[in-house]
């Protein structure tokens, strides 16, 4: 069993540029272009232990497709195919199959490597896949009881500034600043507004709310938000259950007076929000719709929902 200095369980190997190397050998040069200018793309993918003891990756193909879309947006030429990256993720987990008893978090990343410097440089693209055991991103208690959120003083970047269909490394500085501000102020997460003052998303999650009439709302893809794969999963689950979801813009004070809020994302999974800007959300605890989504989601990733079986790739 291997662990980092913070005792996080992680793989013994890294898939780097087409081959498996020891974890400590997964290194890049200090002159790597992406380190200086942020030109890289990445994904977060979870693998879960299913109810029958197998290991399954959730929506693997969709994540890899988005990785390639992000690279295309950034004009990063990928030296591998989608199939090769899918296989890389699975190969890495197969090598560590007995290590991740509780599942694993996969991080494929592609970035401009070292060579020429300057904003106009075009260097070969490096690609890596790492894996570690990452628990509930916003904490087990947060998943159970809900978190406290703060509307950030930082604004989500405009759609002509932030390439919103890309999961691009450098763009996450905006999220880092918002997250740090929220945590230093005593909150668990930040909620960012767009330049018009409408709710966009959290620092690393999409957002859903349920108003007092029971209407479920989430910002539309015309907003400066990531086209989240967990967001898409939740939309399908809700609509398959007969519920209507409006993809519309709404204001921060709509959050203050709604009945439920929950966040969605690969890392955060389904996390309820019990308070925004010191205002209790509904009864101040997870609500029925968010609880339904959370329970259905966890049943799905553990292979207990046959109608969504196609979303699981078994290792």
Dihedral sign for Cα atoms in the order 245, 234, 266, 227? negative
Q: Which long-range contacts (CB under 8 A, 24 or more apart) does 153-156 make?
A: 153/181, 154/178, 154/181, 154/190, 154/192, 155/192, 155/193, 155/194, 155/195, 156/192, 156/193, 156/194, 156/195, 156/200, 156/201, 156/224, 156/225
Mention every residue, 6+ apart, whose C-beta is less than 8 A from residue 291: 272
Please answer whether residues 194 and 158 qualify as being in contact, where contact means their C-beta atoms are separated by less than 8 angstroms: yes
CA pair distance 246, 42, nearest whole angstrom: 29
Active site residue 150: no
Which among 22, 77, 167, 285 is annotated as catalytic? 167
Active site residues: 167
């Amino acid at each position: 069993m291997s662990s980092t200095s913070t005792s996080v369980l992680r793989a013994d190997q890294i898939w780097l540029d087409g081959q498996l190397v020891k974890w400590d050998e997964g290194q890049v040069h200090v002159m790597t272009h992406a380190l200086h200018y942020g030109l890289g793309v990445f994904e977060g993918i979870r693998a879960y232990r299913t109810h029958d003891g197998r290991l399954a990756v959730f929506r693997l193909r969709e994540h890899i497709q988005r990785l390639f879309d992000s690279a295309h947006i950034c004009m990063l030429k990928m030296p591998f195919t989608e199939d090769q990256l899918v296989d890389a993720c699975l190969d890495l987990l197969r090598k560590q199959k007995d290590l991740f008893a509780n599942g694993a978090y996969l991080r494929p990343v592609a970035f401009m490597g070292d060579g020429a410097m300057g904003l106009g440089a075009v260097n070969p693209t490096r690609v890596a896949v790492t894996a570690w055991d990452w628990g509930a991103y916003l904490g087990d208690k947060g998943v159970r009881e809900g978190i406290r959120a703060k509307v950030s003083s930082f604004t989500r970047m405009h759609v002509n500034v932030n390439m919103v269909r890309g999961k691009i490394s450098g763009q996450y500085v905006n999220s880092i600043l918002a997250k740090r501000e929220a945590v230093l102020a005593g909150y668990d997460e930040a909620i960012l507004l767009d330049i018009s003052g409408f709710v966009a998303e959290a620092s690393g999650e999409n957002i859903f709310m349920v108003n007092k009439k029971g209407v479920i709302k989430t910002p539309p893809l015309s907003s400066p938000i990531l086209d989240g794969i967990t967001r898409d999963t939740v939309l399908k689950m809700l609509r398959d259950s007969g519920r209507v979801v409006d993809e519309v813009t709404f204001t921060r004070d709509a959050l203050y007076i709604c009945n439920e809020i929950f966040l969605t994302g690969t890392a955060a999974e389904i996390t309820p929000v019990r308070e925004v800007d010191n205002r209790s959300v509904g009864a101040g605890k997870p609500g029925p719709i968010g609880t339904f989504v959370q329970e259905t989601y966890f049943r799905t990733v553990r292979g207990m929902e046959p109608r969504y079986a196609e979303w699981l790739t078994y290792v």
